[in-house]
C-alpha cells in the first residue's frame, strides 16, 4: 500500500544519523526487497498506516521518508518551539532558535512558498510542510481537535459511504487518543468533558500545562459576551461552536507526534523497515491526477498593546528568561515551553442574517459548523510582522474555516526535485473576504469586553481600521496560511467521474495504490487538521485490513 500524493512525488534528500532500531539510511540496509505494503511518507497518516498494518506481524512493511529523523531534534520535543522547525513563523526572535532550527530554511521542512497571491497584494510567504519522521505532526502548532460532526456527515454524503459519518468514526477516537493530565498537573474540572475522550489510545493529548494571567479574562469574556462568544466545555464531541480550552498533542510536557507514538510502537518489529532520505520521484499509472480543488484555512494575526508584564513577550526577548525556561523544561518538562501557543481557541458562525448569504449559499458543513476561528495568545504572534523590541502584547488571531476559494497544486517542471507551484488562491471570493472582514470586527468586540478594560491599551497598526475598505486593506496586507491544505486528491463516490480516490481511498484508475492524508478531504474541516487526518488514517488501516 503506497500512501501517495502529488506532494509526496516531489521529495528532496537530507542527512541524519540513525538512532531508531530499524531506521535505515541506505537501501542496502533493508532486510529484503519484497514487501506487502510500501508507505510513501512517514507523516501524520503514513505512520498510522504502518503501525496498524504491522500489528498482526503477518505483513512486511516498508516506510519511505524523504526527511530526517525526529530523534535528537530538541525543538520537536519542546512543544513551544515547534514553529522554529519551519519557516512559517519567520519572525520569532533569534533566541528561540538553536542548532536544531535556523528560523528560515530548515532541514525539517520542505521550505515551500506559495505563488504570489492575487488577492493578498501579490504577496508570497512560507507554506510549512514537515520533512521529518512524523511529517507535519512533528513540527505543527499541536492543536488537536476532530472537527464538527457535520464535517464527517457531509463527507459520508459526498462519498456515498456511511462509514465516514461521525457516529461511525467516533470509534477511531478510542483507538487514537490517550487523554492525559496536563504538564503542571492542575485541576482540570470544567475545562473538558472526560466522557468524550479516550484514555486507552496511542497518542497522548492534554489541556494546557501552563497557566497564563489572561486565562481568567478570556473566560470572563465568554460570560460577559455569552451571546456572541459562548463557552464551549469541550469540542471533542463534534460540537465545535464556542470558545474553550485548547487540547493539544502533548503528553508529559513533550510533543506527541505520529513518529513518537505510532511509528515508535513498531519500529523494532522484524516486519517493519523505515528508510529515510528516500525519494519517490515517479509513480507510473494511468489513474486520476490530483492537484485541483485545493482548500486551506487563512490566518490573520491581530495584536494589541497591553499594560503590565503578564505576557510572555520577555521570554522571547531576554536570553536569561528564555534560558531559565528551557532549563526548567529539560529538568521537569514543565513551564511555558511545555505548552503550545494558545491556551484558548474557539469556532464561530456569521449571523444567520448576514447579507452575504443573499448571494452566497452557506459553505459550512452544517448549522453546527463554523465560518471562522479565534486563537488567543499571551504574547506577540505574527508571521507577517516581527516582534517589537519593547512592550507587551495580546494576540487574537482569526482563521477562515469554511473558505469558498479553491486553489491548485501543480508541478513546476518534470524535475521531481523542483518545488511545486502552490497556489491556495486565498480570498478569491466575496464570501471569504466578507468573513475575514467580519471576523476582525468580531475580535474587536471581544477585546472591547470589560474583562480587558484595565489591560488592553490599543490595537497595533492598521488593526485600528474601521471602514470596510480599511479592514479589507489590512486583511490583504497581513493574511497568511494556517498550513491546513486539503482537497487535491479528493474522495468521491466510487463511480463518479470527478474526484481522485474512491471512498476506500483507492486511486481511481490504478491498481494497488491508496492515498491516505489530508488531501483526500474534499473540503477543509472545522479543526486544525492533524486530528481529522489521524481519524482518516485509522479508518484507512481498518479498511485495508478488512475490518
The pLDDT, as a whole number, for residue 6 is: 27
Distance CA 355, CA 152 (A): 28
pLDDT at 475 over 80: yes
The pLDDT, as a whole number, for residue 31 is: 86
The pLDDT, as a whole number, for residue 13 is: 26
Average pLDDT value for residue range 467-484: 98
> What's the grid cell of residue 329?
523544561
Taking alpha carbons only, the member of 207, 11, 16, 82 closest to residue 483 is: 82
Q: How far is CA 217 from CA 74, 212, 260, 376, 451, in A?
A: 33, 10, 35, 11, 5
In a domain, residue 294? The reply is: yes
User: What is the pLDDT confidence band of residue 177, given thresholds at 50, 70 and 90?
Assistant: very high
Q: Which residues of 329-350 are buried (b: 16+ CB within 10 A; e: fewer)?
A: beeebbbbbbbbbbbbbbbbbb
Whole-number average pLDDT of the chain:
93
In a domain, residue 210? The reply is: no
The pLDDT, as a whole number, for residue 444 is: 99
Average pLDDT value for residue range 133-154: 98
Distance CA 487, CA 153 (A): 17
Average pLDDT value for residue range 343-348: 99
In a domain, residue 212? The reply is: no
pTM of the full predicted structure? 0.94
pLDDT at 27 over 70: yes
Catalytic-residue membership of 344 = no
The pLDDT, as a whole number, for residue 281 is: 86
Distance separating the N- and C-terminal Cα atoms of the chain = 16
pLDDT at 287 over 80: no
User: What is the pLDDT confidence band of residue 2, given thresholds at 50, 70 and 90?
Assistant: very low
CA 178 from centre of chain? 19
User: What is the pLDDT confidence band of residue 83, given thresholds at 50, 70 and 90?
Assistant: confident
Average pLDDT value for residue range 279-294: 83
Residues near 442 by Cβ (< 8 Å), separated by ≥ 6? 228, 348, 372, 374, 398
Distance CA 465, CA 142 (A): 32
In a domain, residue 22? The reply is: yes
Average pLDDT value for residue range 539-547: 94
Considering 8, 144, 212, 484, which one is annotated as catalytic?
A: 484
pLDDT at 10 over 50: no
User: What is the pLDDT confidence band of residue 105, given thresholds at 50, 70 and 90?
Assistant: confident
In a domain, residue 64? The reply is: yes
Domain that holds residue 486: 2-151+258-308+340-545
The pLDDT, as a whole number, for residue 89 is: 66
Distance CA 237, CA 335 (A): 29
The full DSSP string for 127-168 is E--B-BTTGGGGTS--B-----HHHHHHHHHHHT-GGGSHHH
280 labeled binding residue: yes
In a domain, residue 128? The reply is: yes
Distance CA 63, CA 46 (A): 8
pLDDT at 278 over 60: yes
pLDDT at 505 over 90: yes
CATH number of the domain enclosing 479? 3.30.560.10
Catalytic-residue membership of 484 = yes
CA angle 410, 411, 416 (to 5 degrees): 150
User: What is the pLDDT confidence band of residue 12, given thresholds at 50, 70 and 90?
Assistant: very low
> What's the grid cell of residue 395?
494576540
The pLDDT tens digits of the residues spanning 325-340 come to 999 999 999 999 999 9
In a domain, residue 159? The reply is: no
The pLDDT, as a whole number, for residue 96 is: 63
Query: Of all residues in the chain, what percent carry a pLDDT higher than 70?
Result: 93
In a domain, residue 290? The reply is: yes
How many domains is the chain built from? Answer: 1
Average pLDDT value for residue range 96-118: 78
The full DSSP string for 473-491 is HHHHHH-EE----B-TT-B
The pLDDT, as a whole number, for residue 227 is: 98
Helix (H) or strand (E) holding 75: helix 74-77
* Sheet-wide strand order for 272-275: 23-24, 272-275, 61-64, 37-40
Considering 8, 212, 297, 528, which one is annotated as catalytic?
A: 528
Residues near 20 by Cβ (< 8 Å), separated by ≥ 6? 69, 71, 264, 267, 268, 274
Amino acid at each position: 500500500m503506497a500512501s501517495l500524493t502529488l506532494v509526496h512525488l516531489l521529495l528532496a534528500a537530507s542527512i541524519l544519523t540513525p538512532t531508531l532500531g530499524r531506521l535505515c539510511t541506505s537501501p542496502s540496509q533493508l532486510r529484503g526487497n519484497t514487501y506487502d505494503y510500501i508507505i510513501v511518507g512517514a507523516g501524520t497518516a503514513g505512520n498510522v498506516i504502518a503501525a496498524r498494518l504491522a500489528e498482526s506481524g503477518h505483513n512486511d512493511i516498508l516506510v519511505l521518508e524523504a526527511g530526517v529523523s525526529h530523534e535528537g531534534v530538541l525543538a520537536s520535543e519542546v512543544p513551544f518551539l515547534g514553529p522554529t522547525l519551519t519557516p512559517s513563523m519567520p519572525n520569532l526572535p533569534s533566541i528561540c532558535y538553536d542548532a536544531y532550527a535556523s528560523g528560515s530554511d530548515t532541514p525539517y521542512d520542505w521550505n515551500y512558498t506559495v505563488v504570489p497571491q492575487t488577492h493578498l497584494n501579490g504577496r508570497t510567504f512560507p507554506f510549512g510542510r514537515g520533512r521529518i519522521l512524523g511529517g507535519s505532526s512533528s513540527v505543527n502548532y499541536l492543536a488537536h481537535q476532530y472537527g464538527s460532526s457535520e464535517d464527517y456527515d457531509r463527507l459520508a454524503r459526498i462519498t456515498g459511504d456511511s462509514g465516514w459519518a461521525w457516529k461511525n468514526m467516533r470509534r477511531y477516537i478510542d483507538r487514537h487518543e490517550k487523554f492525559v493530565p496536563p504538564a503542571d498537573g492542575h485541576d482540570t474540572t470544567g475545562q473538558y468533558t472526560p466522557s468524550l475522550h479516550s484514555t486507552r489510545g496511542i497518542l497522548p493529548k492534554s489541556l494546557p500545562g501552563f497557566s497564563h494571567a489572561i486565562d481568567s479574562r478570556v473566560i470572563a469574556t465568554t460570560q460577559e459576551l455569552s451571546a456572541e462568544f459562548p463557552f464551549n466545555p469541550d469540542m471533542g464531541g463534534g460540537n465545535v461552536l464556542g470558545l474553550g480550552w485548547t487540547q493539544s498533542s502533548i503528553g508529559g510536557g513533550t510533543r506527541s507526534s505520529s513518529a513518537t507514538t505510532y511509528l515508535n510502537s513498531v519500529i523494532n518489529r522484524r516486519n517493519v523497515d523505515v528508510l529515510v532520505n528516500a525519494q519517490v520521484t515517479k509513480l507510473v499509472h494511468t489513474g486520476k491526477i490530483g492537484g485541483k480543488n485545493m482548500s486551506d484555512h487563512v490566518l490573520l494575526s491581530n495584536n494589541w498593546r497591553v499594560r503590565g508584564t503578564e505576557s510572555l513577550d520577555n521570554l522571547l526577548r531576554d536570553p536569561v528568561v528564555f534560558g531559565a525556561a528551557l532549563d526548567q523544561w529539560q529538568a521537569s518538562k514543565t513551564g511555558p515551553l511545555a505548552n503550545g501557543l494558545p491556551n484558548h481557541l474557539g469556532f464561530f458562525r456569521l449571523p444567520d442574517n448576514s447579507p452575504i448569504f443573499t448571494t452566497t449559499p452557506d459553505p459550512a458543513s452544517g448549522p453546527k459548523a463554523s465560518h471562522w476561528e479565534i486563537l488567543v495568545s499571551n504574547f506577540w504572534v505574527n508571521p507577517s510582522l516581527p516582534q517589537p523590541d519593547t512592550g507587551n502584547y495580546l494576540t487574537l488571531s482569526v482563521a477562515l474555516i469554511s473558505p469558498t476559494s479553491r486553489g491548485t497544486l501543480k508541478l513546476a517542471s518534470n524535475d521531481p526535485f523542483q518545488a511545486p507551484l502552490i497556489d491556495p488562491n486565498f480570498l478569491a471570493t466575496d464570501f471569504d473576504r466578507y468573513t475575514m472582514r467580519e471576523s476582525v470586527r468580531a475580535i474587536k468586540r471581544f477585546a472591547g469586553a470589560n474583562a480587558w478594560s484595565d489591560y488592553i491599551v490599543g490595537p497595533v497598526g492598521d488593526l485600528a481600521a474601521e471602514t470596510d475598505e480599511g479592514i479589507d486593506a489590512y486583511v490583504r496586507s497581513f493574511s497568511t496560511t494556517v498550513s491546513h491544505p486539503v482537497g487535491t486528491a479528493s474522495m468521491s463516490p466510487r463511480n463518479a467521474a470527478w474526484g481522485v480516490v474512491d471512498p476506500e481511498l483507492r486511486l481511481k484508475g490504478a491498481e494497488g495504490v491508496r492515498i491516505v492524508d489530508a488531501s483526500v478531504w474534499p473540503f477543509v474541516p472545522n479543526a486544525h487538521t492533524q486530528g481529522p487526518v489521524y481519524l482518516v488514517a485509522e479508518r484507512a488501516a481498518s479498511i485495508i485490513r478488512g475490518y
